[in-house]
Amino acid sequence: MKLLSTLALAATIALTGCQSTSSTTDNQPIELFNGSDLSNWTIESNGQFSVSNGVIKLNRGTGWLRSNEKFSDYVLTIEFRFMEDRANSGIFVRTQETMHQDEKGYPNNGYQVQAMDTMEGNALGKLLPYGAPEFQHTFDLEALKRAYKPYGQWHTYEITAKGETLEVKLNGEVISTATSIKNLDGHIGIQGEFGLLEFRKIEVLEL
């Protein structure tokens, strides 16, 4: 009887260990874009967003495209390409629903990762406060030069938000890092800023 009890206990421990391992490996990315429609999104302020041939198309205009859900700590992977020279957009992270009451209707409490086809000024990959508190920011222009691709080619952002830190990778290169980020959750979004762009894979891996 004692032997049977010992075996049963060992089996329970082994099963518990398997379940624990499974739970840590079952964290799968959330697909925010299904390739067919904008069912996980809300178009704000008359933004010019549509879906065609498996991509989200930004046809100039202003406003923004807001995820229906909020997220806190995560890795956001988003693929995009500029469809004209110096096309302009941006990726919002940890951004709230509130907006400026003007003709552009951009959010007024969040952060933006610049998505403009330029390596000057507010260059591709820079982090910008959009009404949220200021933060400590570093930007690596040499890394941007290594990662940059001309318009028409696909770029990949990996944006990691963890606690009070944000990190931006462009095509595998760390371009920007920021600390003292005060918004600890919020929506993900795409800005309309008069540019022509396309977006395809948009995934969130929650941490």
Kind plus residue range of the DSSP H or E element containing 146:
helix 141-147
Instruction: List all residues 6 or more positions away from 75 whose beta carbon is below 8 Å from its beta carbon.
Output: 158, 159, 160, 204, 205, 207
- Residue 10: inside a domain, yes or no? no
Smallest CA-to-CA distance from 207 within 165, 173, 153, 149 is with: 165
Kind plus residue range of the DSSP H or E element containing 19:
helix 2-25
- Residue 18: inside a domain, yes or no? no
Q: Find the domain containing 134 and state its range.
A: 30-206
pTM for the model: 0.87
- Residue 103: inside a domain, yes or no? yes
- Residue 3: inside a domain, yes or no? no
Over the stretch 16-30, which tens digit does the pLDDT of each residue have?
444 433 333 478 999
How confident is the model at residue 22, as a pLDDT?
Answer: 33
- Please state the domain count of the chain: 1
Over the stretch 161-181, which tens digit does the pLDDT of each residue have?
999 999 999 999 999 999 999
Which CATH number goes with the domain that contains 134?
2.60.120.560
